[in-house]
Structure 1
Amino acid sequence: MNDIPLTVKRSIELLGLVLLGTILVIGSDIIMPVIMAFFISLVLLPVFRFLKKYKFPEALAIVLPILMLVILLAGIVWFFSAQVSNLVEDFPRIKNNVSIHLKSLSDWISSISDYSAKEQVDFINKNTNEVVSFAGKKMSGVAVTLSSLFVFVGLLPIYIYLILFYKDILLRFIFMWFSESHHPKVKEAIYETETIIKSYLIGLLIQVTYMTILLGGILMIIGIKHALLIGVIFAFLNLIPYIGALIGNVIGVLLTLTSSTELWPIVTVLCVIAGIQFLDNNILMPRIVGSKVKINALFSILGVVIGGSIAGVSGMFLSMPIIAVLKVIFDRTDIFKQWGVLLGDERPAKNPMVFSGFRKKAAIETKPGVEGKG
């Protein structure tokens, strides 16, 4: 490999990236459930080892953690469904509040423009027909998405079971890719990947719990309607780095608008969300996740956007752990070390254009950067 010209090496790397992206786009429906199952398997691995230690049969030691996971997910779905049903029961009041908000908006538009209330109604009616027509065309797409979701959820426990059952074969396959002299590095990368993924996913589970309790509880004490629903929606959307929090703020404001005709609840919701996010980002999550791989904000956002375009919500959620695993691999591979530098947030203390020592692959002095949710 050292005899290959540098330009050829870089060309091969770029072609490999294009090929990898193409495979992910074409086979996302197959690949994403397997990746999700792999990450969940790493989280369940300690429970599996604990049960094996106490002489449980291997099949039972795998099935029990999966059942625990199913019960946990069923509890989350039940809780969310209960909150949505409360929202549906409040629909008459929501309809009345929306009418009031639309009337206020119409009056404001009339005051700053030449559009009368009648012209606004005509405009809305005209565009409503187009929206309904567009929605009708998309219904078949929604049906396909729902069927794909059911297939995804149905295959997940099977993949988790098989990955845990055949984990020794998978590990042997990985080691056989490398010469024996590189096995210590491979072993180190495997252990670090397991630690990172476990701390990241368990940290996210803890984060969803305390975000729901803190945000929903504080809003409930203040007297905001649908406080727990706002809390649970924001907590889950916050799992998607950067973009999810923005969407969560918008949904929180919309839910507050539908349940009140006053301005103060909206300001209160935004202030409480901002305060809890500050507490989460600067105090709670760094202590919970601990030794996480630091991904710079640029590639965190790019990863979420690319993951979403390839595989939807599952791609957005999986983007950060995938990038974290790639960084672990790149940092331990001499030929790909520059990619690890690109993904990380270890900024050189001095300008590489001026100081040649900061252009090399060796460890360098760094200055603090912006942490991604890696």
Structure 2
Amino acid sequence: MKIKDQPFYIQATTVLFGLILLVYVLNILADILVPLAFAAFLSVLLNPLCNRLQQRKVPKVLAIIIAMLIMIISVLLVFYFLSTQIIQFGDSLPMLEKKFGSITTDLKNWIQSTFGVTLAKQEQMIKDALNSSQTMVGKTLNSVLGVLSVVFLLPVYIFLMLFYKTLILNFLYEVFAEENSKKVSEVLSETKTAIQSYIVGLLIEMIIVAVMNSAALMLLGVKYGILIGCIGAILNLIPYLGGIIAIALPVLMATVTKDGYSTQLGVVIAYIVIQFIDNNILVPRIVSSKVQINALMSIIVVLLGNQLWGVSGMFLSIPFVAVIKIVFDRIEPLKPWGKLLGDDIPTRQMVEIWRSRRKSAVLSRKSSV
């Protein structure tokens, strides 16, 4: 008897067991799968450039090397720009530490006078918080080390994936039945389009947000506005959550370097406006591809990605789910799950029509029995 003919509790148990097994394997093989996932997405992004070079009679190996060199040089230019800003930030670090220390002392005294919590008890609470956060720090360090391993393995994986592209595609066609070749072709085509439009859109969005952040912070007189604005734009690549985290950096810098709270208020207002422009103008017109993931599922998969693969999982979660949605939309039994991931909200009339059809189907089955 097929699984779909079994009672619901058996189906649910089977699906749950399969998900647990899948998550376990993904977690155990994270050091191998994370670089492969990044390499797969970047290979899809570089593939059009390689094809254009090969159309101009450039040998395949040389075309791949040229495309990879362009990508590496672009990344190095970004890191060089950020490093120059970080050097300037390092020169003022002693002064910032002194000012931050005085602010911390004033805050402790205020807490003692307002809530009656002694300085010794506050110090103990801070120590306890630091001790409890050691696990989180260790996880963060593991994520950083994982990112470094990704950086060193990426060029090798990208080169090999682009070189063996036809072999991989041929395998995907042959592993499925011949009558499904059309669906496989549609899935691969839409997956390529979704990944390319998503990554290119993210890069364009990041540049625009970096310019807006930096301009706003410089107008408000926040020190190192360009560096903090660029870091905020990079954090903004993490859907929904990154933009919220990015606000804390300029607010903290304004608190340390300026008196009063008018600058902090201006930073919060400016970032709210920028986030509104980003979420309502930039993301729908630049980032969004043919596959739309609703906000609820985006937040859930980002948090799950962070729990599974750390920082890398947060960046990979959205394109990964976009690919899953493409597959779900092409398989009849999985279409409801694809709709759950999407942002097409059915109207009340559509729900009533679906309920009436469902009711009619149940009645017809009962009458036939």
List aligned pairs for 1:296-315, cutoff 5 A.
296-315=294-313
Q: Which of 278, 287, 295 does residue 280 from structure 1 map onto?
A: 278
1:263 corresponds to which of 256, 261, 285 = 261
The answer to whether the 8 Å contact 1:352/1:358 transfers is: no
More divergent stretch after superposition (264-273 vs 307-316): 264-273
Of 57, 60, 65, the residue aligned with 1:58 is 60
- The answer for the alignment partner of 1:159 in structure 2 is 157
Contact 1:331–1:337 (Cα < 8 Å) also in 2: yes
Q: Which runs of 5+ in 2 are unaligned?
A: 359-369
Q: Which moved more, 1:161-170 or 1:6-15?
A: 6-15
Q: CA RMSD in A?
A: 2.7
Show the counterpart of 1:94.
96
Task: Find the partner of 2:338 among 331, 334, 340.
Answer: 340
Q: How many residues align?
A: 356
User: Is the Cα–Cα contact under 8 Å of residues 200 and 289 in structure 1 kept in the other structure?
Assistant: yes
Q: How does 1:4-43 map to 2 (within 5 A)?
A: 5=5, 7=7, 11-43=13-45
Greater fraction of residues in helix: 2
Q: Partner residue of 1:368? A: none
8 Å CA contact retained: 1:28, 1:311: yes
**Is the contact between residue 225 and residue 259 of structure 1 (CA under 8 Å) also seen in structure 2?**
yes
| Native 8 Å contact 2:205 2:287 kept in 1 | no
Determine the C-alpha separation between the residues in 2 that align with 1:250 and 1:303. 23
Pairing of 1:130-169 with structure 2 (within 5 A): 146-169=144-167
Deviation at 1:348, TM superposition (A): 1.9
Q: Deviations over 1:174-227 (max 9, x none)?
A: 111222222112111111111111010011111111111111022213322111
Q: Separation in 1 of the partners of 2:193 and 2:356?
A: 30
1:227 is aligned, of 221, 225, 233, to 225
What displacement does 1:106 show?
3.3
2:255 counterpart letter in structure 1:
L
CA shift in 2, pair 1:224/1:70, >3 Å: same
TM-score (normalised: structure 2): 0.87
Give the TM-score of the pair, scaled to structure 1. 0.86
Question: Structure 1 residues 13, 176: CA separation in 2 closer, same or farther (over 3 Å shift)?
Answer: farther
Kept in 1: contact 2:191–2:326 (CA 8 A): yes
Instruction: Tell me the CA shift for residue 278 of structure 1.
Output: 1.0
Question: 1:281 offset after TM fit, Å?
Answer: 1.3
Q: Give the aligned residue type for 2:44.
A: L
What is the match of residue 188 of structure 2?
A: 190
Deviation per residue, 1:22-71 (Å, 9 max, x gap): 11111111111101100011110110001000011111111111111111
Q: 1:284 to 1:126 in 2, by over 3 A?
A: closer
* Cα distance in 1 between the residues matched to 2:20 and 2:116: 53
Amino-acid identity (%): 36
Q: Which residue of 2 aligns with 1:109?
A: 111
- For the 8 Å contact 1:29–1:311, the answer to whether it is kept is no
* 1:286 shift after superposition: 1.7
Secondary structure of the residue aligned to 1:241 is coil
Q: Which has the larger displacement, 191-200 or 296-305?
A: 296-305
* 1:133–1:172 CA distance, 2 compared to 1 (3 A): same
Q: Give yes or no for contact 2:108–2:122 (8 Å, CA) kept in 1.
A: no
Shifted more, 190-199 versus 280-289: the winner is 280-289
Report the secondary structure of 1:347's partner residue: coil
Distance 1:292 1:281, change over 3 A: farther
Pairwise CA distance, 1:152:
1.6
Deviation at residue 279 of structure 1 after TM alignment: 1.1
Which amino acid in 2 is paired with 1:340? G
- Kindly indicate whether the alpha-carbon contact (under 8 Å) linking 2:140 and 2:310 is maintained by their aligned counterparts in 1: no
Tell me the residue number matched to 1:370. none
Alpha-carbon deviation of 1:10? 5.5
- Distance in 2, Cα, partners of 1:355 & 1:134: 53
